[in-house]
Amino acid sequence: MALVNLDNPEEVKKYEEFITNTPYAVTTQAMAWAKVKDNWNSFYIYLEKNNEVVAAMSILTVKSVGDKKLAYATRGPVCDITNIELVKELYDEAEKHLSNENIFLLRTDPEVYYDEKLSDAYKAAGFTVRNKDIHPHSTIQPRLNMRLDTEGKTEETLLAEFHSKTRYNIRLAKRKGIEVHSSRSLEDLKAFYETHVIMSERQEISYRPYEYFERVLNAYGENAKVFIATFEGEVLAGALCLSYGNVTWYMYGGSNNLHRNKMPNYLMQWEMIKWGLERKTKYYDFGGIFDMNEDDGLYRFKRGFIANDQVTEFIGEIDRVYDEEAYKTFLSLNNSYSTFAH
């Protein structure tokens, strides 16, 4: 049981090998994530059994209520979440190393499916669990997720599973002359970012500075790619995609206002899904949603790709609270997706 000593290369290597190769691997628990969230402090906690790492938690801390800090393991911890005693032991170990950090809350929100019995078991174990009984926009990460099962499937079988309109739009984009390429170049990253800004302003939502996306690209190396859709050499849409562990993740996207009737986003998504197939990941993740609203064009767009898969519902936030007053204040603030999420 230990806190990773970042000055010890062997210890860092051991931790990263577990985080990367375990079946419970998740993108935002990689040590690379701290390089993206560079305004947070980072701590890496792990448990060993018989000299083998069996559980880990990459924790970021930031001041959230006055001088009091939130400790947040984004989509962690990395272990068998159904083993509550193991998770408690991991929280206890983290608590030892965070005792001088003025922490009011240690939060995780694992990518494990919602199960009422499991949720109740965590509550019985002394955790505060936030899921069905709260406003959907009050969690840091969305509990509902659009995820396509790609394990063991081919391009042909996946296309057959898509909604017929989605298949039509992918083929239409090809017929209309849309081309998609991918790279890790800063030129393409800047092109993507321009589309992301245009889309965000069109939808009246906030967006991160360009430097944030450059950090993502640099931190995740070959696990990160930029995809660009063009028509006759002109950029129409872009996306930043990560492939890590068992999941290929459509992290951010964007589109400008040109030639939208040529359906560039459909073909771009298809090319990213194909990259996931090449990487042999089990899932292609379209990202989270807060509700299943058929009037929401983005929801309908994503839904067309997972016509035969249900929307994934995760267990929610598993909190260990150290200061009730600060916790209440924190929950009363706008601490939703836009504030602390990826």
Task: Among 64-68, 107-111, 305-309, name the one with the lowest average pLDDT.
Answer: 305-309
Question: Is the Cα torsion angle 63, 65, 67, 69 positive or negative in sign?
Answer: negative
What is the C-alpha end-to-end distance of the chain, expressed in Å? Answer: 28
Long-range pairs of 320-323 with CB within 8 A, sequence gap ≥ 24: 320/91, 320/95, 320/105, 320/106, 320/107, 320/126, 320/127, 320/128, 321/104, 321/105, 321/128, 322/103, 322/104, 322/105, 322/106, 323/68, 323/104, 323/105
- As a whole-number percent, the residues of the chain with pLDDT over 70 amount to 96
Place of tokens 């929610």: 316
Cα separation, 69 vs 341, in Å, equals: 16
What domains can be seen in the chain, in order of their start residue?
Answer: 2-141+315-340 (3.40.630.30), 146-313 (3.40.630.30)
Q: Work out the average pLDDT over 50-66.
A: 96
Question: Is the Cα torsion angle 133, 136, 139, 145 positive or negative in sign?
Answer: positive
Max CA separation in the chain (angstroms): 61
Cα separation, 75 vs 45, in Å, equals: 15
Q: Are 51 and 18 in contact (CB under 8 A)?
A: no
Cα separation, 109 vs 59, in Å, equals: 12
Q: Work out the average pLDDT over 16-44.
A: 96
Partners of 56 in the β-ladder = 46, 78
Q: Are 17 and 59 in contact (CB under 8 A)?
A: no
The 10 Å Cβ neighbour count of residue 329 is 16
Is residue 229 packed enough to be buried (19+ CB in 10 Å), middle (13-18) or exposed (0-12)?
buried
Q: Are 237 and 261 in contact (CB under 8 A)?
A: no
pLDDT tens per residue across span 31-52:
999 999 999 999 999 999 998 9
User: What confidence score (pLDDT) does residue 307 get?
Assistant: 74
CA dihedral 337→250→156→264, nearest 10 degrees, is 110
What's the one-letter identity of residue 105? L
Q: Are 75 and 147 in contact (CB under 8 A)?
A: no
Residue 15 has pLDDT above 80, yes or no: yes
pLDDT-based confidence at 339, cuts 50/70/90? low
Query: How long a stretch of residues is the chain?
Result: 342
Catalytic residues, which ones? Answer: 37, 109, 208, 301-302, 317
Q: Report the range out of 65-74, 280-289, 304-313 with the highest average pLDDT.
A: 65-74
Backbone dihedral angles phi then psi of residue 48, each to the nearest 5 degrees:
-120, 145
pLDDT-based confidence at 338, cuts 50/70/90? very low
Residue 192 has pLDDT above 50, yes or no: yes
Q: Which residues contact 232 (CB under 8 A, 6 or more apart)?
A: 177
pLDDT tens per residue across span 306-332:
976 678 899 999 999 999 999 999 999
* Structure tokens given for 309: 């898969």
* Structure tokens given for 8: 């010890």
Backbone dihedral angles phi then psi of residue 193, each to the nearest 5 degrees:
-60, -40
Q: Are 28 and 35 in contact (CB under 8 A)?
A: no
Cα separation, 6 vs 17, in Å, equals: 14
What's the one-letter identity of residue 1? M
b/e 23-45 (16+ beta carbons within 10 angstroms → b): ebbbbbbbbbbbebbeebebbbb
Q: Sheet containing 128-130: which strands, arranged edge to edge?
A: 2-3, 41-49, 52-65, 68-73, 103-108, 317-321, 128-130
